[in-house]
Structure 1
Amino acid sequence: MIRHIAQRYKDGNLIIQILVGIVLGGILGFIAHSGNSFAVNLTDLAAILGSLFVGALKAVAPVLVFVLVSASIVLKEFGRANGMKNVIILYLIGTFLASLAAVCVSFIFPTALVLQNTSVAMSAAPSNIAVVLKDLVYKIVDNPLNAIATGNYIGILAWAIATGLALRHCSNKTKKVFKDISEAITRIVKFVIRLAPFGIFGLVSISVAQTGFAALGGYAKLLFVLVGTMLFVAFVINAIIAFIVTRKNPYPLIMTCIKESAITAFFTRSSAANIPVNMNLCKKLELNEDLYSISIPLGATINMAGAAVTIAVLSLSAVYTLGIEVGFWNALLLSIIAAIGACGASGVAGGSLMLIPLACSLFGISNDIAMQVVAIGFIIGVIQDSVETALNSSTDVLFTAIVSNNTKEV
């Protein structure tokens, strides 16, 4: 009986399950907020589920960042197809510009979050860019084991990149070990994410019980900023990039990518799962097969404009909540780190959220606070992750198409 229920839960739609968790958590929290003693006690028990979920995220995130980034560098084969170099450059430029746009929008529409135990984080916040850079250097040279144990994401990223580059030309057997470890960690992350409905139920119930529906209102504003920024990237930034490369009206191609790639990706919530759709679209557009057969699978892992937006916006929401001052150089540094982190984001639903502590660590925000932000990301992820995937996947085809068409003309 229990095994049957567990299997049905495992096979169920995660989006629907998270929605159920949000609704039930909101109802329980509202009743507790009105003063019902039984509901208050039940909310305290539900809060344990939220704490366990955040704890699981905090435990797996450091290892995930190290393994995914290092394995990504070791395993990626960039190929020698004509125009491939230009596609990769567009992927990286597009991801960085998306991150920069997210930072700018966050300054225009600052969003406060409901976070717990923020007094220590506020007192530990860096005062200026010099302090940030000094801390950055010290974190980079941290012992790798200590970096993973303490959640020093800058150190983890530095060691992951160094390890990946050092093993770039290792034997195929070693590469297989990296691939197996990466897949194993991804399975663990998938398991934790499958528990998200229970954790979100606890987090929403305790938030609503303590603040009423004000917390959910804050989530709505945050979602508006995230989705609005992603749409800006899709229809403005990508259009400018396409026009600069092709000197043609980019919107017919953009709309084709939206209709035939983004919509499917919105519902699958997986860039990897959308690869066959993108391949068929590239064939329909009569693009260079030698190019898109490499660029589309590669784009599913490193072209992550949507992930960069998510990382930057949520991190700056935490910064704004804690009252930390962010200058120009701090913002530029955040844009770079968010873009780098996005390129190493996990391919599973909600994978970009696991990179938020990396960006938060730039501002001295503790792992405990950062993981609360990650949990909020899962609450709004029902829509955020779908739009993020739609942007990522459709941009893969867009950049491949403009490079392929330019190569043909030459």
Structure 2
Amino acid sequence: MSFLPAFLRRPSLVTQIVIGLVAGVLLAVVSPRAAASVSLLGTVFISALKAVAPVLVLVLVAASIANHRQGKDTRIRPILGLYLAGTVLAALVGVAASFMFPITLTLDVPVEVALSAPGGIGEVLRTLVLQVFDNPFNALVNANYIGLLAWGIATGLALRQAGEGTRQVLSDFSQAITRVVRMVIRLAPLGVFGIVASILAESGLSALLDYAHLLAVLLGAMLFVALVANPLVVFAMTRRNPYPLVLRCLRESGITAFFTRSSAANIPVNMELCRKLGLHQETCSVAVPLGATVNMAGAAITISVLSLAAVHTLGIQVDLPTALLLSVVAAISACGASGVPGGSLLLIPLACGLFGISDDIAMQVVAIGFIVGVVQDSAETGLNSSTDVVFIAAACGATSARDAVVDGASAGGVPGDAVSQAGSGA
């Protein structure tokens, strides 16, 4: 094997995922029937991630808060501020892209499946409140991450007064769940192979040709946020070259999120990436699940672009104040989007309601969203999930490099600034 390049002799997980991706494409081209038969690999991988993610969120958040030392800053507030600001910025980018490259749709797509959408912002907020007070067992079964965050925080605060032994048991259990997660992540190459092969065998990309313009605007706006807007935010926070961090997060988090199409399922991947970057584990155990819930830049772009596509198709005139209001509504709606495939699409009628567009027409736009969702939803999730770690690292590195990392022995590395470490590779 000495004649092979070093990255093939001992491939990293990312290299293995790329190999699985290429193998899936080749199998779908050579034998679509065989490609369809390996879909079980992708299904098992995604199911494993979704199975372990709710338990991981509950246990990590509870253990982190229970073992938190008084007086130690975890920087959750600046991270949350970055999440919200980044989502609003992404919505503004989506609105600007829609005005620069107006999109018209053929709104006669038959709606074959009955879909339901929120009736207004009040209904979205009401749903969020009800999710906070959900039964913990029901939250685990239904992967209600907002409820799990609430129960994790409440349990952690209650156990702050527990004995050292009790808190150590909770910490040990958290580490055990983390080790299980790492085992699941090692299955990513096989999972990606099965996902890519089955998707290309079943639908291919031919159905997307009619919506090339829409896809180009959506993907262009998401790339702009990932490669321009996010780096500017990181630079403003750290005053250092942001691209080593941004590109590494896209490579190690964005790729897996692209194929799993679920921010929630990618939580274990982001936790592992935070560990590699040497970020503070107490911070990450709360900030990563929080980001999978409220940091939805890709969803904000999808909601604003598709809503304005309906507006342009119907010839409705939009002024600047209304466009800015749409950005805010899209950002708020995106924060309430579920972390599952297609979770942002059912919130499009909420934004369309600003312009008096009926639910019948809005749901046709949703149907178009599901058609282009093969690529759009994957790119949206990749942007959402990778941005979580980008903002966590930026907030952690903004004040002090030393405070942003865990002890070298527990992190498996040496202390240092997360933005600088990102360029060193996995």
Q: Same fold (TM over 0.5)?
A: yes
Q: Which protein, 1 or 2, shows the higher relative CO under an 8 Å CA cutoff with sep ≥ 6? A: 1
Residues in 2 aligned to 1:88 and 1:383: alpha-carbon distance in whole angstroms: 28
Residues 244-269 of structure 1 show CA distances to partners (whole Å, capped at 9, x for unaligned) of: 11111111111111111111111111
User: Would you identify which runs of 4 or more consecutive aligned residues in structure 1 move more than 3 Å?
Assistant: 8-14, 76-81, 149-152, 162-168, 174-184, 215-218, 407-410
Please say if residues 106 and 316 of structure 1, whose CA atoms lie closer than 8 Å, have aligned partners that are also in contact.
yes
- Counterpart of 1:234 in structure 2 is 226
Pick the aligned partner of 1:113 from 105, 123, 130: 105
- Counterpart of 1:38 in structure 2 is none
- Counterpart of 1:380 in structure 2 is 372
Distance 1:161 1:290, change over 3 A: same
Report SS of the residue matched to 2:340.
Answer: coil
Please say if residues 128 and 336 of structure 2, whose CA atoms lie closer than 8 Å, have aligned partners that are also in contact.
no
Residues in 2 aligned to 1:116 and 1:396: alpha-carbon distance in whole angstroms: 37
Pick the aligned partner of 2:391 from 389, 394, 399: 399
How many residue pairs get aligned? The number is: 282
Pick the aligned partner of 1:344 from 318, 336, 346: 336
| Aligned CA-pair RMSD | 3.4
Report SS of the residue matched to 2:400.
Answer: helix
Q: Which deviates more from structure 2 when the two are superposed, residues 397-406 or residues 78-87? A: 78-87
Which residue identity lines up with residue 389 of structure 2 in the other structure? V
Which residue identity lines up with residue 263 of structure 1 in the other structure? I
Please say if residues 83 and 407 of structure 1, whose CA atoms lie closer than 8 Å, have aligned partners that are also in contact.
no
Distance 1:151 1:345, change over 3 A: closer
Please say if residues 90 and 225 of structure 2, whose CA atoms lie closer than 8 Å, have aligned partners that are also in contact.
yes
Q: Does 1:179 align with 2:145?
A: no
TM-score relative to the length of structure 1: 0.62
Which residue identity lines up with residue 249 of structure 1 in the other structure? N
Please say if residues 319 and 363 of structure 1, whose CA atoms lie closer than 8 Å, have aligned partners that are also in contact.
yes
Alignment of 1:6-405 (within 5 A): 82-116=74-108, 153-154=119-120, 157-162=121-126, 164=128, 175-176=135-136, 179=139, 218-405=210-397
1:177 shift after superposition: 8.1
Residues in 2 aligned to 1:253 and 1:93: alpha-carbon distance in whole angstroms: 19
Residues in 2 aligned to 1:230 and 1:222: alpha-carbon distance in whole angstroms: 12
Report SS of the residue matched to 1:225.
Answer: helix
Residues in 2 aligned to 1:227 and 1:150: alpha-carbon distance in whole angstroms: 26
Which residue identity lines up with residue 161 of structure 1 in the other structure? L
Please say if residues 271 and 288 of structure 2, whose CA atoms lie closer than 8 Å, have aligned partners that are also in contact.
yes
Residues in 2 aligned to 1:224 and 1:331: alpha-carbon distance in whole angstroms: 21
1:283 shift after superposition: 0.8
Q: Structure 2: any 5+ residue segments left out of the alignment?
A: 1-36, 44-60, 110-114, 145-198, 404-426
Identity %: 53
Residues in 2 aligned to 1:152 and 1:278: alpha-carbon distance in whole angstroms: 30
Please say if residues 111 and 218 of structure 1, whose CA atoms lie closer than 8 Å, have aligned partners that are also in contact.
no
Residues in 1 aligned to 2:351 and 2:227: alpha-carbon distance in whole angstroms: 26
Please say if residues 226 and 383 of structure 2, whose CA atoms lie closer than 8 Å, have aligned partners that are also in contact.
yes
Q: Structure 1: any 5+ residue segments left out of the alignment?
A: 1-7, 15-75, 118-148, 185-196, 205-212
Distance 1:392 1:242, change over 3 A: same
Please say if residues 84 and 291 of structure 1, whose CA atoms lie closer than 8 Å, have aligned partners that are also in contact.
yes
Residues 218-239 of structure 1 show CA distances to partners (whole Å, capped at 9, x for unaligned) of: 5110000000000000011101
Residues in 1 aligned to 2:308 and 2:262: alpha-carbon distance in whole angstroms: 25
TM-score relative to the length of structure 2: 0.59
- Counterpart of 2:189 in structure 1 is none
Please say if residues 116 and 346 of structure 2, whose CA atoms lie closer than 8 Å, have aligned partners that are also in contact.
no
Distance 1:13 1:376, change over 3 A: farther
Report SS of the residue matched to 2:317.
Answer: coil
Which residue identity lines up with residue 303 of structure 2 in the other structure? I
1:153 shift after superposition: 2.1
